[in-house]
Structure 1
């Protein structure tokens, strides 16, 4: 499975993956998912929001146990973020069948669409729509860098955009959702454990900073006469690093757009996107407020107009304690770690579909050790033995939740 999937969307130049929503690579990933489902005798369906489901048992019976993740990527992303969870879900089902486990509840594997938000700028679009956290109107307003709307992209890919919308009936039939994911940090590497259980997802969001100045000739305009938004943006980037260090949070300007974007032209607009996260809401508020305050002070001194827009926000997600504790119990009994050793429980600064669904469905997460902590990069990695340990752990969890 890993070899077959690994060929899809791989860029030979960067060595990373470019699996963006509703593109050819996304289509091929979806076909791969369908083939894996049908090869196992599972019933495949695509819901109204473009999420894929592979069902064992009656989907309408209720109290279903669901696992899975996503297959799309960030620009030049790694092989493991998302796909490890989907591949491990199919592999865990294979392991349960090898054990002779009998399912007593409906079971499904899912591939949520557009989790990374690489094309349209909003993460977890498929799960947000299903959970009612993204309105139909909001989804229709999403545009990619070429001005193509989400409905246009979906229609071109053969999916009906008019069907978009909340799916409470489907979510009400799910009794538990467990997502396996490569860890996007080094906590497990430092503790010496191959697998851990998630406690919570940090609050996080994305803010767009628009710095507007005046375009002019780079070779004839005196420095004193310029309204150049680029230095103000640069000062704000430095301020973000400073504020994050002072407060103990995270702040990153990782995307920027410049107009008119000419080598010999002073910009008229510099647009930068701030990603900020923290272990608690108060710290996050402190970081973002500090960055915006510094940006406004620099903009005022330079005669630059500044607009700040919060484009997305997810509050802290505490995974359901009862389900989390049940995972710990199941893995403590027969998990991948040494006998008698408690499975580690850790928080994460990365967002996931499980976090979005947690408001509607009991959710939990498993993390697989990432020896370097690198993620969203071609250098992202997990050792084969650890991936196998993750499959066994997921199988143990699913057996405890869904089997007799």
Structure 2
């Protein structure tokens, strides 16, 4: 199944993937999901926010056990972040049927929309809208790099913008959610274990810094007469690294937009996006406050925030016992955000399985997982689903 997806959105120059939400690539991936569900006789539904659900059994009668992940990617991302969880969900269901297992609860496979937030800047868009964490009015007004709003894009793909928002009917179908994901770090590689369980997700967020100046000619404007926003921006980037070290956190400026963007002009505006994360919410907040104060007259706006997520301890331990085989699977924290974290924060019992990443590299074409480890992840997921669906 991963091979069937390998060509969709792949950049031949880098071998990275560009799978923005609601793009032509995303629509092809949605068709693939529906096709896999149909081949297995599952009932496929799209909720008000574009999330896809394939059901074995009727969740309207009894809340079900759901697994899955997402199919969109960061720009120039890898082949495993997201798709591995969706593919593994279908493969685990196949294993259960080969065992002649009949679930005592409905079993669902989910594909969340716009988990990465690459197009509109807000990660986990589908699950945030589903749970009501993100207001529809704000979501519909988000603008992509081409100047299109989410509302515009939804209309073009045949959806109704007025329908998005908290979906209590769909939430009522979710009894338990388990997301399998390639590990985004080296924890399992260092422990020499193929599969692990998430213990907690660090608090994390994104902030936009707009540095305003005056656009002017690069050759004729004296240094003393310049109001160059690139200078406070550069100072902020350096300060972010120092502040992160001082607050036991991580901070990254990975996206910058310069206007007007001419090589022979002093910029008039530099917009930069800060990603900050850490084990302790107070440290992350203090880091951002320090950078905001140091940025002077820059405009700073919070685009997303997710508090710490401590996964349900009983469910986590149950997964560790079932997924680990002869010994309990290791429990690891993570600095990466996931739809499972959004659902957990909204009160849906949720947990995560990780599959070993030998290099620890993620959000990059170098992201990898060995075939044997992926298969071990599928077996572990199947065992977990069988246990939860009894």
Which TM-score applies when normalising by structure 1?
0.94
Whole-angstrom CA distance in 1 between matches of 2:135 and 2:301: 18
1:290 aligns with 2:290: yes
For structure 1, which runs of at least 5 residues remain unmatched after alignment? 297-304
Contact 1:56 1:107 in 2 (8 A): yes
Whole-angstrom CA distance in 2 between matches of 1:246 and 1:199: 25
Q: Deviations over 1:33-72 (max 9, x none)?
A: 0000000111111111101110101121123000000000
2:30 maps to 30
Q: Deviations over 1:205-248 (max 9, x none)?
A: 00111111111111011111111110111111011011111221
1:299 maps to none
1:202 maps to 202
2:309 maps to 317
2:71 maps to 71
Contact 1:177 1:364 in 2 (8 A): yes
Shift of 1:154: 1.3
Match of 2:328 among 342, 351, 369: 342
Shift of 1:13: 1.7
Match of 1:308 among 300, 304, 308: 300
Deviates more, 1:9-18 or 1:105-114: 9-18
1:357 maps to 343
Whole-angstrom CA distance in 2 between matches of 1:86 and 1:267: 43
Whole-angstrom CA distance in 1 between matches of 2:168 and 2:279: 30
Whole-angstrom CA distance in 1 between matches of 2:42 and 2:134: 29
Shift of 1:328: 1.7
Deviates more, 1:9-18 or 1:249-258: 9-18
Whole-angstrom CA distance in 1 between matches of 2:162 and 2:36: 28
1:301 maps to none
Whole-angstrom CA distance in 2 between matches of 1:91 and 1:200: 26
Shift of 1:294: 2.8
1:175 maps to 175
Moved over 4 A (4+): none
1:302 maps to none
Match of 1:369 among 338, 356, 369: 356
Contact 1:23 1:157 in 2 (8 A): no
1:150 aligns with 2:154: no
Contact 1:131 1:360 in 2 (8 A): no
Whole-angstrom CA distance in 1 between matches of 2:380 and 2:61: 26
2:166 maps to 166
Contact 2:131 2:167 in 1 (8 A): yes
Cα-Cα RMSD = 1.0
Whole-angstrom CA distance in 2 between matches of 1:51 and 1:88: 18
Which TM-score applies when normalising by structure 2?
0.98
Q: Deviations over 1:46-100 (max 9, x none)?
A: 1111011101011211230000000000111100000000000000001111122
For structure 2, which runs of at least 5 residues remain unmatched after alignment? none
2:320 maps to 328
Shift of 1:354: 0.5
1:300 maps to none
Shift of 1:192: 0.7
1:281 aligns with 2:281: yes
Q: Deviations over 1:191-214 (max 9, x none)?
A: 111110001110000011111111
Contact 2:207 2:274 in 1 (8 A): yes
Q: Deviations over 1:327-350 (max 9, x none)?
A: 122224xx2xxx2x3210011111
